[in-house]
Chains A and B, each alone.
Chain A
Amino acid sequence: MIKLENVSKEFETRGKKKIDAVNDVSLEINTGEIFGIIGFSGAGKSTLVRCINLLEQPTKGKVFLNDKELTAASAKELRQERRKIGMIFQQFNLLAQKTCIDNITFPLIISGVSKKEAKERAKELLKLVDLEDKAKAYPEQLSGGQKQRVAIARALATKPEVLLCDEATSALDPITTRSILALLKKINEELKVTIVVITHEMRVVEQICDRVAVMSEGVIKEVGTVKDIFLNPKSETARKLILPERDRIPNGKRAGILRLAFDGQSSSEPIISELTLESGAYVNILGANTEDIGGKAYGQMLIELPADNEAVKKIKAFLDKRQIHYEEGGNADVTAD
């Protein structure tokens, strides 16, 4: 669906020094998937996502949308193609002087749709994002989460095939983040929109992404399924993102790692204590990234398994019984970047 071929973006800074914000990136994003691009600040993620809809003109390389080369399109063709690519932003970027409904009809009106038709489509979209009662409200009167919902509705107005999300939840609190991510997931499943998510937060990737690319210093360090990246992070960057508190997961051979995914279990239950008591095995917590939202636990935990196979079986049996989703991996040797 989206293909980047050896894309580079060079910026000239004031002292005429050249900086490669994006350096020779090749990437393919499949139709219907939610693709994450994760990295620390300054990794070049935002520049990379702007190369997809050519808000940033790549200095080198080609960008394709459905086999059409955007980098070769005329200004007019590009404007047409951009209507197939919706985009939402960290700061929402709503028109402050227009009501919600007029914000949503905006992309339709500029593409020549009649006012009446645009209004009807906007009403459908307000329903989709659960803000039917806010049609006449101005952005200033809305909360951050509501603003992002309006922005999502606006981005979907022209029925795009792709939705680009540039740090769309970074200005929101954890609860609102969850609900916006759930909305994006729903849009992906029901409207079959391919979604590209830029973020520095692992929890975003973990909640909705199918595949993820890890980016650092303008370069894609690794690409894989979310499971692969969590259990077998090959790059230093990925390891730092997964376990921010640790410099590195211990190198060398080990019995294996389990990734436990908490998806709304009661946070008051001492799961790990019960696990060790029931299985009689010791586990080593390598890292955890969990949040307590309304008494429910969300997030993930990485635990190192004991070498004893019997104990591992017991641990798995316990997790099955408690219906905690887990993935196993981490047998491969970890190498430095």
Chain B
Amino acid sequence: MSLPIDTLVELLKGGLLESLYMTIVSTIIAYIIGIPLGIIVFVTDTGGILKNKPVNFIFGVIINMIRSIPFLILLVAMLPVTRAIVGTTIGSSATIVPLVAAAAPFVARMVESSLKEVSPGVIEAAKAMGASPIQIITRVLLPEAKPSLTVGFTIAISTILGYSAMAGFVGGGGLGAIAINYGYYRYKTDIMLITVALLIIIVQIFQTVGMFIANKIDKRTNN
């Protein structure tokens, strides 16, 4: 090993916690923004319960615009915004701002696609029962889409973890920063491999747990 084992463990432990911190906080905030956004895009679409072409168009364009900016560029472009919000552009807390900006539109699309899986017949039945649009959203769309939303969450959190690693290039913290600083700038390939292995393990855990929960809560499967 290129570093004393104790130092290495400390380093990786810190990086791991920072990565998890960035990923989890960003995912939560991205969902707080992305769920309403996804719902708005879904219900205002043609054939939706609150069909509204202009609203649908505007939100659609905003989501697509942010989604088409490569994350690394967004990261740099957002530095002034990050400084204004967090007060600094370095460290894991600062990374959360561009992470949320990149993830929220992505989450919105994931939520939209989960809602699209809800049978239109069930929505029609709720309408026929006299349900209001808000009741359809909270009592039909979201509960019926729960398993699919869970799968989406699993994908989103893994993607955000990947993004957070990229933030290492511009002074963000976490495992990504360790891989870049030690593995790339100092040619310590072993450390880079270990961080990569850790990232793989985390994604595996997210994936396995997420799919397990999604299957468990889905009442369409007999278990």
Q: Do A140 and B129 have beta carbons less than 8 Å apart?
A: no
Binary contact readout B161-200 vs A (1 if CB under 8 angstroms, 0 otherwise): 0000000000000000000000000000000000000000
Q: Do A93 and B122 have beta carbons less than 8 Å apart?
A: yes
Interface of chain B residues 179 through 223 with chain A (CB within 8 A): 217-222
Q: How far is the CA of A96 from the CA of B143 in the complex (A)?
A: 9
Q: Do A79 and B219 have beta carbons less than 8 Å apart?
A: no
Q: Do B220 and A96 have beta carbons less than 8 Å apart?
A: yes
Q: How far is the CA of A95 from the CA of B126 in the complex (A)?
A: 9
Interface residue A317 (Cβ < 8 Å from any Cβ of B): no
Main secondary structure on B side of the interface with A: helix
Q: How far is the CA of A95 from the CA of B119 in the complex (A)?
A: 9
- The stretch of A104-112, A217-225, A298-306 in contact with B is A104-112
On chain A, the number of residues with a Cβ less than 8 Å from chain B's Cβ atoms is 31
Interface residue A262 (Cβ < 8 Å from any Cβ of B): no
Partner of A110 from the list B139, B144, B220 (CB cut-off 8 Å) is: B139
Interface residue A186 (Cβ < 8 Å from any Cβ of B): no
Q: How far is the CA of A89 from the CA of B127 in the complex (A)?
A: 13
Using Cβ atoms and an 8 Å threshold, which residues of chain B touch A82?
Answer: 127-130
What's the minimum C-beta distance from A122 to chain B, rounded to whole angstroms?
A: 14
Q: Do B131 and A96 have beta carbons less than 8 Å apart?
A: no
Of chain A, the residue at the smallest CB distance from B139 is A110
Partner of A53 from the list B128, B221, B222 (CB cut-off 8 Å) is: B128
Interface residue B140 (Cβ < 8 Å from any Cβ of A): yes
Q: Determine which residue in A97, A98, A139, A141 has the highest number of CB atoms from chain B within 10 A of its CB, and name it.
A: A97
Using Cβ atoms and an 8 Å threshold, which residues of chain B touch A85?
Answer: 128
Interface residue B132 (Cβ < 8 Å from any Cβ of A): yes
Interface residue A290 (Cβ < 8 Å from any Cβ of B): no
A106-B130 contact given A93-B124, A97-B144, CB 8 Å threshold:
no
Q: Do B124 and A55 have beta carbons less than 8 Å apart?
A: yes
Interface residue B67 (Cβ < 8 Å from any Cβ of A): no
What's the minimum C-beta distance from B117 to chain A, rounded to whole angstroms?
A: 11
Interface of chain A residues 126 through 149 with chain B (CB within 8 A): 138-141
Q: How far is the CA of A335 from the CA of B213 in the complex (A)?
A: 65
Q: How far is the CA of A107 from the CA of B130 in the complex (A)?
A: 8
Interface residue B125 (Cβ < 8 Å from any Cβ of A): yes
Binary contact readout A48-82 vs B (1 if CB under 8 angstroms, 0 otherwise): 00000101000000000000000000000001111
Q: Give the interface size bracket for B toward A.
A: 20 to 34
Partner of B221 from the list A87, A140, A154 (CB cut-off 8 Å) is: A140
A97-B219 contact given A89-B121, A91-B121, A110-B139, CB 8 Å threshold:
yes
Q: Determine which residue in A86, A96, A107, A141 has the highest number of CB atoms from chain B within 10 A of its CB, and name it.
A: A96
Q: Do B139 and A97 have beta carbons less than 8 Å apart?
A: no
Of chain A, the residue at the smallest CB distance from B138 is A110
Interface residue B88 (Cβ < 8 Å from any Cβ of A): no
Using Cβ atoms and an 8 Å threshold, which residues of chain A touch B131?
Answer: 79, 107, 110
Q: Do A97 and B130 have beta carbons less than 8 Å apart?
A: no
Q: Do A87 and B125 have beta carbons less than 8 Å apart?
A: yes
Of chain A, the residue at the smallest CB distance from B145 is A97
Using Cβ atoms and an 8 Å threshold, which residues of chain B touch A158?
Answer: 129-130
Using Cβ atoms and an 8 Å threshold, which residues of chain B touch A110?
Answer: 126, 129-132, 135, 139
Using Cβ atoms and an 8 Å threshold, which residues of chain A touch B132?
Answer: 79, 110
What's the minimum C-beta distance from A70 to chain B, rounded to whole angstroms?
A: 12
Using Cβ atoms and an 8 Å threshold, which residues of chain B touch A86?
Answer: 128
Interface residue A83 (Cβ < 8 Å from any Cβ of B): yes
Using Cβ atoms and an 8 Å threshold, which residues of chain A touch B139?
Answer: 106, 109-110
Of chain A, the residue at the smallest CB distance from B143 is A97
A93-B220 contact given A87-B128, A107-B129, A110-B129, CB 8 Å threshold:
no
Partner of A96 from the list B124, B135, B219 (CB cut-off 8 Å) is: B219
Interface residue A94 (Cβ < 8 Å from any Cβ of B): yes
Using Cβ atoms and an 8 Å threshold, which residues of chain B touch A154?
Answer: 129
Q: Do B143 and A98 have beta carbons less than 8 Å apart?
A: yes
The 3 tightest CB contacts between A and B, nearest first, are: A93-B125, A82-B130, A93-B121
7 A-B pairs with CB atoms under 8 Å apart are: A82-B129, A82-B130, A87-B128, A93-B121, A96-B220, A141-B222, A154-B129
